[in-house]
Every structure is written in structure tokens, then in C-alpha cells.
Amino acid sequence: MAGAKTFRKLQLARNADSDSDDVIAATTILRVNGTIEDTRNLYFVEEDVGLATGSDRTNTSLLGAAIVTDTIEATYEQLPHFLEMSVKTVTPVTDSGDAYVSTYPIPTTSFPALKPYTVEGGDDAGAEVANFVHCMDWTLAGVGGEAWMMSGNLFGKTVIPQAFTAGVPLPTVNTMNFSKSKLYIDNDSDSWGTTLKSNTMLAATLHYNAKLVTKTTAEGALTWSFVQQTRPEITLDILFEHDAIGIAQKVDWRAETPRLIRILNQGTAFTLPGNTYSVRTFIADLAGKWNKFEKIGEQNGNDVLQGHFTVRNNAAQASAGQFIIVNALSALP
């Protein structure tokens, strides 16, 4: 019987350490839309052998995998998978009760270890597995009145046919709603989250490109050998009301003034609130400068202002920022 789209799924497992490319049994389901692509470099060898169409001699010089996840509602429980594969491997810290805090500092003077994954994908007709999977880049985008939406581009070493791990549970998740977010903008002499900017942020897009490079060495296998981290590129686009707040940011742009931006998103309450957090939370603390503002735009007859912010290390803070996710998971499944 032919496979049906309704039976597609992506199942995940977190490998034991940063160097492990073993294929291991899946432990959870990634609640996104996506499939695995085999990106092996298979080609016909061009040779003069007296045949009009050429011979059918082929060669595979390199293996690889790609998994593009379609944009879907972001959740406090599953966004961390993208961060583990692109920013840092983190152990959640209890906030007491059933609240657990995971903090992902943006790299500064060194690159921390990333968590490789095993990913199973397919449908009811057949499945495949990709190993040593990392996240090249991810995007978190939101608009007023809707949910934050997440997507990611994953890549791995190989793709081979393999049946799904049986009995993997569908995890419980909680959606991150954009309207439950708050925007803070401060001087770099202050702290993140000091000054609330109310009733101005209409939409925002946060993009994290880990700039991971696969290194292919002579190591006795047709796979790339390891992942080299380079300079990550992090940007934040904010659509402001064309008001005093947005205009002030445009002034800072012209003056090349460094800013600290916090986006705070809060969700459903914990059954047993923690010491600091009573609700599920996502925080993006970002240092940098505005690098561009568009001309005044329009949204339903209302003037708006689009700003583009680039994240860079701030000398006063000795940091480029961090991501904080608070959920009820003592460990990622």
C-alpha cells in the first residue's frame, strides 16, 4: 500500500555526546512538518568511450542528509531541540516546583559543545534514519494575534532505510502566543529587561544562523568527518508602530548606539510554580545595534516602521546575549 501524508512523522533521539554519530532509538516525536532528504553526491562519470549517451558508470563521492521543517507553531517544549543542535548543550536547572530553566548563552570567546541527534522520518509505507544531525539555522517569527512560528534547517551525515522505533510517545506541548510577549529596549549600561516598550511591537522575526561547516577529511568513510562552528549570524527584525518608540530607535540607528533588546514571552502556568517563574517562559536577550530602518510603511491604513537589528558582542555587557526557556521538562526527551 502506498504511504499517506497523514502518517508522516519525524522522531528524534539525543545522542550521548557531541562526537557520537551512532544511530540510536528514537525517544520523542518532533511536532513539525518535514521529511528527510538524502543529499548524497551521486553522479555519472563523464568519459570518452564511444557511446552516444555515455556509459552508465556512476560514483558516490559523499553522503549527506537534509531535513527542512516547515513553519509551525513554536512551543516551549520543542524549540529547545533546535537550540541544542545549534547553540549549546544545556542541562535544565530546577526552579523548584515543576519549572525547569534552560539557559543558552550566545557564544563569545569559545564555541560550546552541540548535541547531535538521530532523526527518523517517513510514513506508513517506509522510514529512513539520519545520523549526527545538527541545526544549521532556525527562525522564530510572530505577528500580533497569532502564535509564534518556528522552523529549522537540519543536516546529517547519512540516510539509510530503517523502520521507525515503535511506541514513541507524542509529547505534550504548549504554544507560544505572540500577543503574550513583551518588548524591552535599554542602554548597554543598564540590564536587559529594564525598560518596557508598550503597545508598539506589531511583529518580529528572530533568525539564528549557526554557520556550521562540515569538514570532509580522509578518514576511511564517505561521510564528512566533523562539524566546524564559525561566526554565528543573529538578526532580529521588528515591525514597530510609527510612534515615539519606533522613531527613537531610528535615532539610535543613525547615532550607531548599542542597544540591549529583550523579548519576553510568557505562556501557561505551572502546576507547582517555581521560585522565579510561575509560567512557561521564553526570553531572548540580544545585544547589538540597529543596522537598517526601512522607509515608513503602512498596515491597514496605519503607519509602521521596520527595523533590522544585528546581534554582536557588547563590550559593556561582555556578552552578545542569551536565550532562556522555562518549561516542565527536567530533561529533553
pLDDT (0 to 100) of residue 273: 87
Q: Are 86 and 134 in contact (CB under 8 A)?
A: yes
Query: Residue 223 half-sphere exposure, CB side, CA atoms within 13 Å?
Result: 17
What count of residues does the chain have? 333
d(CA 55, CA 36): 30
| ∠ Cα 226 232 238 (to 5°) | 145
pLDDT (0 to 100) of residue 2: 86
Q: What is the dihedral of CA 139, 143, 147, 150, to 10 degrees?
A: -10
Q: Which residue has the cell 517569527?
A: 141
Question: How far separated are the first and last CA of the chain, in Å rounded?
Answer: 32
| ∠ Cα 106 107 112 (to 5°) | 115
Q: What is the dihedral of CA 72, 8, 155, 149, to 10 degrees?
A: 0
pLDDT (0 to 100) of residue 17: 85
Q: Is 6 helix (H, G, I), strand (E, B) or coil?
A: helix
Residue 7, C-alpha cell as written in the block: 502518517
pLDDT (0 to 100) of residue 35: 97
The DSSP secondary structure of 74-134, one letter per residue, reads -BTTTHHHHHHTTT-----EE-STT-EEEEEEPPSSSPPP---EEEEEE-SS-EEEEEEEE
pLDDT (0 to 100) of residue 201: 98
Q: What is the dihedral of CA 240, 243, 249, 254, to 10 degrees?
A: 120
C-alpha pair distances (Å), 274 with each of 193, 277, 282 = 20, 5, 15
For 237-296, what is each residue's pLDDT tens digit?
Answer: 999 999 999 999 999 999 999 999 999 999 999 999 889 999 999 999 999 999 999 999
pLDDT (0 to 100) of residue 274: 87
- Average pLDDT by consecutive 10-residue portion of the chain (333 residues)? 92 91 97 97 97 97 97 97 96 95 97 95 97 97 98 98 97 98 97 98 98 95 94 98 98 98 98 93 98 96 97 98 98 93
Strands (DSSP E) found in 144-231: 149-156, 159-161, 181-187, 201-209, 212-215, 226-229
Q: Are 32 and 67 in contact (CB under 8 A)?
A: no
pLDDT (0 to 100) of residue 19: 86
* pTM listed for this prediction: 0.95
